[in-house]
Structure 1
């Protein structure tokens, strides 16, 4: 059996302690003590997730668990809290959920204690351990299908530049956030630009690399920058920027988890016209010879 190296942190419900722990409104059994954390890895041969092998590396530095919002331990609940707890009715699939608080604790830190990570929020599935691997298996495809804005291409000078001169290009890209529904669960995605690839339209490609470039004041146009380019020929070119985004996702306001792969998105092409410059020196005095070459109204030779 071949396992890939990346790891997914998922949740699993602890066994219920008895019939008194069954919640008929939630249509399932849960334990009032909380939910624990387990690891799953993708099994390429089985085309499914399997429990993490003992000793496998863990990417996330924290453990996570959730607890019922107003639970005090054992079978006791805070009656004051219950009056104001989150209403988890009419979830994504029309079913009721349970109000929970998410906790996190650093892994491998002696004396570490559980601390509130987020919440209160609603959990809308009686068996989250069944859904999280399914969401994890589809999150990359979902990420790549999001309407992520790759940013805009800015050129200095523009829309015209000179052959043989440095033309400064930079990207105007930013972090973006999306809320989507997967398997009836609310998933929050954050997409952050991390790498940029420039296709300057003349057969030259630069990247992927981490610099988005930046603007220059006008009196410094023509200077070489990290993302500038020199055109050897005149003509009209289409400059295309491809931005690579790294993402994280959280399910039902749970802890953010990394999306294993990047998504590539291209910005609309930016047209740029490359001109040539001609320099001529003239000795005529236009006051003495108004018809001299280079004087106003006199055509210059091509």
Structure 2
């Protein structure tokens, strides 16, 4: 594990339940499940190429009422390590192949969801909202976006049109495409109480796509005749 990352487990957890495969940055502003966080100051998460994100505000405290006194504890991302977000899914158009020189459309599917459990010894709920999407396209290129993208039909564009999350491959071959989704966490101690945001993102990898880039459109089989679907692949 790099010097700038630390385990999310406490000494008690190491001695009892063991540690999950989670890394937390020293500044407490990023956590990655199933991988490593970016080094502080390198940008907005896995695959980022858009510069550093602004430094989040200080994390809000957790106030716990005990008989005769109140305990206030700062909540960090490492405190949420046991609340694991659901992984999203990565999709592409065309499905499983692309044409060199034309746009391949990638889009993610991820939804806001709530996990329940114990937070610092208290019953709590944690809500995860997907807000960042980091693609590595397998050819040395990457992109981090605030939009999950969508299908060509949903966007109202033609097949092979460029989109906010599309990518153009310049050489034929076989490519591995990975997506990591950044979730913004919030917590609350009782149902009906206000959600309190925790600074930083929890990054969770999605499924890996494997696709083959063809040298040109003439090598691709078409689903419909071009007279029926003039904007179809290969037409």
TM tier, smaller: 0.5 to 0.7
Partner of 1:266: 205
Extract unaligned runs of 5+ from structure 1.
Answer: 14-124, 281-302
Partner of 2:77: 140
Kindly indicate whether residue 58 of structure 2 is the aligned counterpart of residue 6 of structure 1.
yes
Offset at residue 127 of structure 1 (A): 5.8
Rg (Cα) greater in structure: 1
Offset at residue 141 of structure 1 (A): 1.2
Partner of 2:228: none
CA distance in 2, matches of 1:176, 1:155: 24
Kindly indicate whether residue 150 of structure 2 is the aligned counterpart of residue 217 of structure 1.
no
SS of the residue corresponding to residue 58 of structure 2 reads strand
Extract unaligned runs of 5+ from structure 2.
Answer: 1-55, 220-235
CA separation of 1:182 and 1:278: change in aligned 2, threshold 3 A: closer
CA separation of 1:145 and 1:221: change in aligned 2, threshold 3 A: farther
Kindly indicate whether residue 213 of structure 2 is the aligned counterpart of residue 277 of structure 1.
no
Kindly indicate whether residue 131 of structure 2 is the aligned counterpart of residue 194 of structure 1.
yes
CA separation of 1:174 and 1:278: change in aligned 2, threshold 3 A: closer
Deviations 1:68-105 (A, max 9, x none): xxxxxxxxxxxxxxxxxxxxxxxxxxxxxxxxxxxxxx
Partner of 1:179: 116
Alignment of 1:55-70 (within 5 A): none
CA distance in 1, matches of 2:184, 2:67: 31
Partner of 1:166: 103
Partner of 2:70: 129
CA distance in 2, matches of 1:249, 1:194: 16
| Cα pair 1:12 1:127 within 8 Å, conserved | no
| Cα pair 1:155 1:167 within 8 Å, conserved | yes
- Equivalent residues, number: 161
Offset at residue 278 of structure 1 (A): 6.6
Offset at residue 6 of structure 1 (A): 1.2
- Root mean square deviation of aligned Cα: 2.6
Deviations 1:176-226 (A, max 9, x none): 11001134310100000011111011110111x211111013982110001
Partner of 2:140: 203
